[in-house]
Amino acid sequence: MTRAPGKTARLNRLFNPKDGRAVCVAADHGWMSDVTPNVMELRRILELVVRGGADGILISFGTAVRHGHLLRGKDSPAMLIRADWMNMPRLGASNVSNVLPVVNFKKMATSRARDALHMGASAITIYYFIGYGDEFEALNIEQAADFAKECRKVGLPLIIEPMAVGGMVTGVNIAEILIASGRIAAEIGADALKIPYTGDVKTFKELVDQAGVPVLVLGGAKSDVPRDALELVDEALRAGASGTVFGRNVTKAKDPQKMVADICALVHGGKTIAEILGEHRAVGQRLKPVPAQCIGCQLCEVACVRAHTPGYGQTRARLRVETPSLGEELKPHRPVVCTLCGQCADACATGALTIAPEARLVLQRSLCSQCGACVDACPFHLIFVEDGYPVVCDLCDGDPECVKWCKRGAIVLTEWKRRVRHVHAE
């Protein structure tokens, strides 16, 4: 079946005609999850996102009623409407503050394609849950297919967001399940996907290739370091993604307008992360976690302690492995490592803590006033104090034991570039 002209026209409004890509922002969190400043100040944030140059903004129906006028100008972003609702974030799998005693996981349709068209939407977005392997999953596919049918009738593009959450999903098979979910969503009738990053370029490329429709990568949990978010975008683009639908990494950023503009510079402007962040020439290597590969064995912690402080327990490791707790099926195991973001060194008023030219943190005890500012500044909470002085990751003098011991490749070395200025102080 050829695509309805209405769909083509609306997709053209969303995807930049010059490069076929789109930078979208998800601002539909309030009615499902957290009541945080990004929800309470939605109008202000939407205005900033529009100014940042987003191509599309995903909002709930109620927000479309209240703030839809912001998206009606000739050059304003396309309006995407969330057409379903689910209570999963209230199970504790997200950063919600209003957790309710939810027993069953539920999802329901909240708007129809015609309602969204009436509001001026260029597309609707719905969830597709995978990993249950039961009648709920079957029901969900039926519901998604109904949306697809309605959208075909009225010429409205359908963006499906696969969520790998059921009991069959583990940290090890998540990439495989996401690849399958993208393919199935496209078969159901999605015109585009909004989907999490699989964790590496190779598996995400497989996802993009198998889906055969434009793939927009989502940002996931808020990252403390904007560079991490930009790296995710960069990797997804290299895998063939058609753009982004970032939520909290934009709406909770200190400067949402700047964050959107930076993502646009990557997606549309052909800029490199180094150019955007004002970095220059690579001078060494730093650690990088690859959560999709982590199985939570904690060998890296053991290796770190063994290399530095024999006799101590794993609490003395200069990295840690976060394991998902009950109700956090969405999250893979996650190595948290020093990425040489430099925030600790920036916070050190005496110059005791610096990043040495060969790319590693160095503490000069004679200069250290033991104020603890570096401990507070580390966004990953990796710096601990021993004998009054901070202990930081020293990259094992350039040959990190954690990288050597992790046979899964869940911690790797990547290029580190010296910053010449901080564009985003978070």
- Which residues of this chain interact with ligand SF4, rule CB under 6 A? 347-348, 350, 352-353, 363, 368-374, 390
Q: What is the 8-class DSSP label of residue 388?
A: T
**Amino acid letter, 317:** A
Instruction: Select 267 or 338, whichever has its Cβ closest to ligand SF4.
Output: 338
Instruction: Select 195 or 352, whichever has its Cβ closest to ligand SF4.
Output: 352
Token pair, residue 282, equals 């690579």
Instruction: Select 124 or 378, whichever has its Cβ closest to ligand SF4.
Output: 378
Token pair, residue 68, equals 């839809």
Instruction: Select 365 or 404, whichever has its Cβ closest to ligand SF4.
Output: 365
CB of 318 to ligand SF4, least distance (A): 15
Token pair, residue 188, equals 């159901």
12 — phi, psi (to 5°)?
-65, -25
- The answer to whether residues 319 and 402 touch, using CB atoms and an 8 Å cutoff, is yes
Where would I find the H helices in 135-247?
Answer: 135-154, 174-188, 201-211, 226-238
Instruction: Select 45 or 392, whichever has its Cβ closest to ligand SF4.
Output: 392
Token pair, residue 207, equals 């996802």
CB of 385 to ligand SF4, least distance (A): 8
CB of 364 to ligand SF4, least distance (A): 8
359 — phi, psi (to 5°)?
70, 65
Question: Would you tell me how many other CB atoms lie within 10 Å of the CB of residue 96?
Answer: 17
Distance CA 231, CA 122 (A): 28
Distance CA 27, CA 96 (A): 15
Which residues are 415's β-sheet partners? 285
Instruction: Select 133 or 372, whichever has its Cβ closest to ligand SF4.
Output: 372
Burial class (CB in 10 A: 0-12, 13-18, 19+), 224: middle
- The answer to whether residues 205 and 235 touch, using CB atoms and an 8 Å cutoff, is no
Instruction: Select 132 or 384, whichever has its Cβ closest to ligand SF4.
Output: 384
SS3 (DSSP) at 169:
coil
Instruction: Select 87 or 354, whichever has its Cβ closest to ligand SF4.
Output: 354
Distance CA 175, CA 257 (A): 31
Q: CA angle 395-221-414, nearest 5°?
A: 25
Q: CA angle 237-336-265, nearest 5°?
A: 25
CB of 339 to ligand SF4, least distance (A): 18
Instruction: Select 363 or 393, whichever has its Cβ closest to ligand SF4.
Output: 363
CB of 413 to ligand SF4, least distance (A): 25
- The answer to whether residues 52 and 260 touch, using CB atoms and an 8 Å cutoff, is yes
CB of 226 to ligand SF4, least distance (A): 22
326 — phi, psi (to 5°)?
-55, 130
Where would I find the H helices in 26-154?
Answer: 37-40, 42-52, 61-67, 113-118, 135-154
Instruction: Select 78 or 341, whichever has its Cβ closest to ligand SF4.
Output: 341
Q: From 9, 123, 117, 114, select the one nearest 58 (Cα to Cα).
A: 123
Token pair, residue 86, equals 């689910």
Instruction: Select 172 or 362, whichever has its Cβ closest to ligand SF4.
Output: 362
